[in-house]
Amino acid sequence: MPEMNGFDTCQLIKQTFPDLKAPVLFFSGSTHENSKKQARETGGDDFIAKPFSPDKLIERIDLWVSKSTGFDIGEVTHDPSHQNDLVLIADDSRTVRKMITMVLGKAGFTVDGHESGHGLIMALNDKKPALIILDVEMPDLDGFGTCERIRQGFPDLTTPILFFTYHNTEENLTLTELVGGNGFLSKSNSPAKLVEVVKKWPNVRIEKKQPL
């Protein structure tokens, strides 16, 4: 990189933010052992040689996300009673979608993930979910806007809609009511807690009404 290379950047990050737990990964076209050694010496956690396939890259990133966040699905138990419960998810982060899919899938749910609110809305034309989960912060059409369009475009839909966020603020609570949403899921929840909350919703049917 111009001005400051990756090794110097990593070293500066580690020195400036000693309590930072986020892993640092190096991407390089060089597979020389000296490069890998320098990456380790400057505080890097992994070294990924170019070229690499997108799937392999996502797999490696998912591994480090799991390690750094403690997002362990080993504590989740399978419940066959939810095998017919379809959960639709919209989140622009592929990693988040994959993590939620793994967690809820292991718990017994059928999960259909979409990278945008538009994609999820299109899916409602031929799918009847037991629960809808929307990321609050998505580009182009955020979670609240998606929810509002769902309630207006599918007035007979009685499926609960939850918002997935780190910020359960008073403003967000007000917006939830305004657009016809029903609750929140915290992104900081453990996998077991996430499943515990989700299990409460599939059998709940919401009164048919337009957004305020």
Q: For the chain (length 212 residues), average pLDDT per consecutive 10?
A: 81 81 77 78 81 73 64 79 94 87 92 96 95 94 96 94 84 87 87 91 72 54
User: Under DSSP, is residue 163 helix (H, G, I), strand (E, B) or coil?
Assistant: strand
**Has residue 178 been placed in a domain?**
yes
Q: Which of 120, 114, 113 is nearest to 157 (CA)?
A: 120
**Has residue 171 been placed in a domain?**
yes
**How many Å apart are CA 183 and CA 180, to the nearest integer?**
10
So what's the pLDDT on residue 54? 72
Burial of 61 (0-12, 13-18, 19+ CB in 10 A): middle
**Are residues 28 and 99 both part of a single domain?**
no
**Has residue 11 been placed in a domain?**
yes
**How many Å apart are CA 88 and CA 112, to the nearest integer?**
5
Q: Which of 123, 190, 116 is nearest to 159 (CA)?
A: 123
Q: Which of 74, 69, 100 is nearest to 185 (CA)?
A: 100
Tell how many helices (H) and how many strands (E) occur in the chain: 8, 7
Q: Which of 208, 151, 204 is nearest to 175 (CA)?
A: 151
Supply 117's token pair. 């609110």
**Are residues 11 and 98 both part of a single domain?**
no
Q: How far is CA 117 from the centre of its chain?
A: 14
Residue 29 lies in domain = 6-69
**Are residues 82 and 146 both part of a single domain?**
yes
So what's the pLDDT on residue 119? 97
